Structure 1
Amino acid sequence: MSLPARVRVTRPPLPLAPALRSAAARLCLTEPLPELPAAALAIAGGAVIGAHLRWAGGAAAAVETGWRGRGIEEALAREVGEGA
């Protein structure tokens, strides 16, 4: 499945920049975020709309409600190496 035209999935450099870290924590309801060895973000129109985070002993993933079911979840999981 291809992603919507305005969406891009990326693996940003770690540690995450403060604005990206805040957006990822908001989506995944994980505050404070532990040290992340892997993270993927979905971005549309300059805003973070999805995140898949992995750390030692845990993981969290979320996509904003209006974007769910469009292949973004699977793309995020692939990007952090968790398959889909």
Structure 2
Amino acid sequence: YSDFDVALHRQLRKYALALLEQEGGRLTERFVKMINWNMAEATKRSDWQCIFGTAFSACLEYERGSLLHFCIGDHAILLFRCNSENPL
């Protein structure tokens, strides 16, 4: 799921799939760093957070353009960006 443009969603998913293959199918620290970097480059915004794994759930309140969730096989990847304009 994402409220981003479909082309951007597909681009990021394709990048994640290639990166996961490079990492031998493992969700590594390098994988997370590269996904975050790629997301920041694609959206021109920083402060992306990444949650990943094979069995997790999340309940987030988010603003438009700040959430991307997709699955590759058994791996789920959730990227979200905190709104830095409204600190808690």
Asked if TM exceeds 0.5, the reply is no
Q: Which has the higher strand share?
A: 1
TM-score by length of 1: 0.29
Greater Rg over alpha carbons, structure: 2
Q: Which has the higher helix share?
A: 2
TM-score by length of 2: 0.29
